[in-house]
């Protein structure tokens, strides 16, 4: 079944000018990972707009596996956040963006869900507009945003084992819900025999028990939706968590059935913990950042070889940060497509959706190993907002790679991609001296030109960023630097750097032990430049921390607390005081003293 689905993509990929053949194989590999061939249950949430799908998605999300670590920059408003210019919304969330506005969700967002000890793949989708389902694959909807949203929702339903069809029970069966039910019934009848798909209807926004009274129209709505052929609707409240026990029982039931079909253990909690705790199997976290309408989503689709995220000419199409698992040459990657980041002055004060989107993009940057900053080559220079994004990446300690997109639109024949890459490097270096020789890849993601050079550059940046230097190599380098250019004296006293060690990687941080508490800024910059040239730590910030040390750390230390007995030094003091009170003389080498009778 997977092979037949992959074969159907050959014509689509071949028709796109400039898309190379390896995109097809990447698509097959990714579908093999995320399709129903694995043992994890795939659960998608469908329904009309503003039915509460994203709220249920956030409630079923496994907070442990999808957590956003609280970093130092989250505790207070740093200068980098002020440069980006996003405001802190009233509702902070690491999940899908939730607002009262219908149509907030556009792309399908995947994560790991969990109820009790059962883990599964959870997919959030855009609201289904019944009138536009038939036009999604037509000429009018082929290049429209609404058509792309519906195609993403349909693709999520086709790949799912369990479809949770949600609707607002207070509104009843609307035309959008009726059209969605009709399409799902057609999908079930035309499905593959190997595809086991179940559809469960959830009646949302039923808090408390007042809706069950005789004068309420909710009971009539529940009776009407039960005629759809998918069984009786389950009353829930995604916002307040009511009815989640019934949803958990359904997910656990179909998870056990699927694992029995594959002959696997009935629980996947041990495998889940093993996969999440294995550092060698952790994928490379790659965040795609940039301003609006620079081609971030098009770049993601070009890398994956399929229409995974919505892309178009309209600025601000992407809202949620979409995480996509991927295999690049048998190496796991989690690529994250983020929303475009505009200056705070260009955004409306009442637009909470854009603030949440920017906040989600910054969270993706903070959790990434490598951040790819996408530029528009038509501008022929890096703009101020893009410099602010690069500043945030550096201050957060991430590795930076610049992707100069839309090189096919540069009409000047004499202005080549190498000229643009060199110009961008010079502009970044003038503004941020620590970002010398930042790797720049000039490309055209729409046509696929030079996109294949991005991932090797990204992995090289990650390897540099995570490298651990031997202490002996560092001190030999320090000795050569001191001989070439020693630090200036301070207060009439010669400044000495005794030795250097690396305290951690990611980002690379080094500790300089000196006879002074701090070094001049100019000399630290000189050390940083010399260090980057010697060990190729380009595209990231090399952090050199100075610590004053008056003693030789490698000298012999007298162990004053040796042979103190049980309880350590405090225990010995207590025993001495007790012996002194008892005999009048302190103990010596474990022998009791005697009071003289004179």
On average, the pLDDT of the chain sits at 78
**What mean pLDDT do residues 114-129 have?**
87
Residue 220 has pLDDT above 80, yes or no: yes
DSSP state string for 283-347: PEEEEEEESTTSSHHHHHHHHHTS--S---SSTT---S-EEEEEEETTEEEEEEE------GGGS
Least confident of 130-139, 182-191, 192-201, 375-384: 130-139
pLDDT band at 281 (very low <50, low <70, confident <90, very high): low
Which span out of 9-18, 204-213, 448-457 was modeled with the highest average pLDDT? 448-457
> Which of 183, 182, 237 minimizes the C-alpha distance to 211?
237
The answer to whether residue 434 scores a pLDDT higher than 60 is yes
Look at residue 336 in the predicted model and tell me its pLDDT: 93
Residue 77, pLDDT score: 45
Q: Judge contact between 86 and 392, C-beta under 8 A.
A: no
Residue-level pLDDT at 10: 37
The pLDDT confidence band at residue 138, using thresholds 50, 70 and 90, is low
Tell me the mean pLDDT in the region 496-523. 90
Q: How confident is the model at residue 96 (pLDDT cuts 50, 70, 90)?
A: confident
CATH of domain 471-548: 3.30.300.20
As a whole number, mean pLDDT of residues 113-118 equals 86
Q: How many CB atoms lie within 10 A of CB 133?
A: 20
Overall size of the chain counted in residues: 598
Compute the distance between CA of residue 237 and CA of residue 538 in angstroms, rounded to an integer.
Answer: 51
Residue that wins the pLDDT comparison between 405 and 81:
405
* pLDDT above 80 for 270: no
Given a cut of 80, whether residue 287 has pLDDT beyond it is yes
For residues 486 and 471, what is the distance between their CA atoms, to the nearest angstrom? 20
Window from 187-191, 240-244, 394-398 with minimum mean pLDDT? 187-191
Tokens of 508: 């690379």
Instruction: Give the rounded percent of residues in the chain with a pLDDT score beyond 70.
Output: 74
pLDDT over threshold 70, residue 107? yes
> Can you give the pLDDT at residue 80?
46
Q: Give the highest mean pLDDT range of 8-17, 115-124, 471-480.
A: 471-480
Class of the domain covering 39-67+77-282: alpha beta
User: Each residue of 490-503: pLDDT tens digit?
Assistant: 888 888 899 999 99
Q: Mean of the pLDDT values across residues 290-304?
A: 92
Residue 98: the pLDDT is 79
- Interatomic CA distance for residues 101 and 399, integer angstroms: 36
The yes-or-no verdict on residue 266 having pLDDT over 70 is: no
Give 567: exposed, middle or buried? Use CB within 10 Å, 0-12, 13-18, 19+. exposed
Q: Give 457 or 492, the one with higher predicted confidence.
A: 457
Alpha helices in 496-560 (DSSP H): 521-535
> Which of the four pLDDT bands, split at 50, 70 and 90, describes residue 1?
very low
For the ranges 6-10, 60-64, 173-177, 520-524, the maximum mean pLDDT occurs at 520-524
**Is residue 460 a contact partner of residue 369, using CB atoms and an 8 Å limit?**
no
Q: What pLDDT does residue 399 have?
A: 93
Instruction: Give the pLDDT of residue 162.
Output: 92
Strand pairing class (497-504; 509-514) = antiparallel
pLDDT of residue 134: 65
What is the pTM assigned to this prediction? 0.76
Q: How far apart are CA 352 and CA 156, in angstroms?
A: 27
Q: What is the average pLDDT across 151-175?
A: 88
Tokens at 288, concatenated: 């795609």
Predicted local confidence at residue 319, as pLDDT: 83
pLDDT of residue 269: 52
- pLDDT score for 279: 47
**For the sheet containing 234-235, what is the strand order?**
109-115, 118-124, 42-46, 162-168, 198-204, 234-235
Task: Provide the terminal-to-terminal Cα distance of the chain, rounded to the nearest Å.
Answer: 105
**d(Cα 290, Cα 317) in Å, to the nearest integer?**
13
Most confident of 18-22, 128-132, 194-198, 357-361: 357-361
pLDDT at 118: 86
pLDDT at position 201, please? 92
Helix, strand, coil tally for the chain in percent (to 5) = 40, 15, 40
Q: What is the CATH number of domain 285-465?
A: 3.40.50.300
From 24, 7, 31, select the one nearest 448 (Cα to Cα).
Answer: 24
User: Regarding predicted confidence, which is higher, 260 or 561?
Assistant: 260
Residues forming a β-bridge with 121 = 42, 112
The confidence band for 430, taking pLDDT boundaries of 50, 70 and 90, is: confident
Lowest mean pLDDT among 166-175, 206-215, 468-477: 206-215
Strand partners, 514: 497, 548
> How much is the pLDDT for 22?
44
User: 373: closest CA among 436, 465, 301, 291?
Assistant: 291
Q: Tell me what pLDDT residue 166 has.
A: 92
Q: Where in the chain is the domain with CATH 3.30.300.20?
A: 471-548
For 313-326, write each residue's pLDDT tens digit: 888 788 888 889 89
Three-class DSSP category at 377: helix
**Which residue would you say has higher pLDDT here, 465 or 411?**
465
- Start-end of CATH 3.40.50.300 domains in the chain: 39-67+77-282, 285-465
Q: What is the mean pLDDT of residues 136-141?
A: 59
**The pLDDT of residue 402 is above 90:** yes
Whether residue 104 is predicted with pLDDT greater than 90 in this model: the reply is no
Report the C-alpha gap between 394 and 389 in whole angstroms: 9
């Amino acid at each position: 079944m997977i092979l037949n689905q992959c074969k159907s993509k050959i014509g689509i990929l071949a028709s796109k000018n400039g898309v190379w053949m390896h995109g097809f194989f990447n698509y097959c590999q990714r579908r093999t990972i995320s399709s129903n061939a694995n043992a994890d249950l795939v659960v998608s949430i469908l329904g009309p707009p503003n039915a509460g799908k994203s709220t249920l998605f956030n409630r079923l999300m496994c907070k442990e596996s999808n957590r956003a670590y609280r970093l130092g920059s989250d505790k207070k408003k740093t200068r980098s956040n002020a440069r980006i210019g996003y405001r802190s919304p009233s509702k902070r969330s690491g999940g899908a963006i939730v607002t009262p506005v219908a149509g907030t969700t556009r792309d399908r967002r995947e994560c790991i869900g969990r109820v009790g000890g059962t883990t599964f793949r959870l997919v959030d989708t855009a609201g289904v507009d019944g009138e536009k389902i038939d036009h999604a694959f037509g000429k009018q909807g082929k290049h429209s945003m609404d058509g792309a949203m519906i195609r993403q929702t349909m693709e999520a339903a086709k790949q799912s084992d369990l479809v949770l069809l949600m609707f607002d029970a207070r509104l009843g069966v609307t035309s959008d819900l009726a059209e969605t039910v009709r399409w799902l019934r057609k999908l079930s009848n035309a499905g593959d025999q190997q595809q086991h798909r179940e559809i469960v209807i959830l009646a949302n926004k039923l808090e408390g028990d007042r809706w069950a009274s005789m004068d309420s129209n909710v009971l009539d709505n529940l009776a009407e939706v039960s005629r759809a052929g998918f069984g009786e609707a389950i009353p829930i409240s995604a916002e307040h968590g009511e009815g989640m026990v019934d949803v958990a029982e359904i997910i656990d039931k179909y998870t056990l059935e699927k694992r029995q079909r594959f002959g696997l253990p009935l629980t996947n909690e041990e495998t889940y913990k093993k996969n999440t705790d294995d550092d060698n199997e952790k994928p490379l976290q790659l965040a795609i950042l940039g301003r609006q309408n620079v081609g971030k989503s098009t770049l993601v689709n070009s890398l994956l070889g399929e229409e995974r995220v919505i892309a178009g000419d309209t600025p601000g199409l992407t809202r949620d940060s979409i995480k996509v698992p991927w295999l690049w040459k048998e190496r796991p990657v989690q690529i994250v497509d983020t929303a475009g980041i505009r200056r705070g002055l260009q955004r409306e004060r009442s637009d909470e959706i854009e603030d949440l989107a920017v906040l989600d993009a910054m969270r993706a940057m903070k959790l990434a190993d490598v951040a790819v900053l996408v530029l528009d080559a038509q501008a022929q220079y890096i703009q101020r907002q893009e410099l602010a994004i690069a500043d945030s990446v550096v201050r957060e300690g991430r590795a930076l790679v610049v992707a100069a997109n839309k090189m096919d639109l540069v009409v000047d024949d004499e202005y080549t991609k190498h000229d643009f890459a060199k110009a961008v490097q010079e502009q970044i270096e003038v503004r941020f001296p620590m970002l010398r020789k930042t790797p720049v890849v000039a490309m055209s993601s729409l046509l696929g030109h030079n996109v294949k050079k991005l991932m090797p550059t990204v992995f090289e940046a990650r390897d540099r960023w995570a490298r651990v230097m031997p202490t002996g190599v560092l001190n030999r380098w320090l000795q050569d630097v001191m001989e070439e250019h020693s630090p200036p004296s301070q207060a009439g006293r010669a400044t000495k750097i005794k030795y250097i060690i690396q305290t951690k990687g990611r980002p690379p941080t080094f500790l300089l032990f000196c006879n002074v508490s701090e070094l001049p800024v100019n000399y630290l910059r000189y050390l940083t430049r010399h260090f980057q040239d010697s060990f190729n730590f380009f595209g990231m910030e090399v952090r050199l921390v100075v610590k004053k040390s008056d003693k030789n750390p490698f000298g012999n230390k007298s162990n004053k607390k040796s042979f103190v007995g049980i309880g350590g030094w405090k225990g010995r003091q207590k025993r001495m005081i007790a012996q002194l009170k008892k005999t009048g003389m302190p103990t010596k080498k474990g022998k009791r003293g005697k009071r003289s009778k004179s």
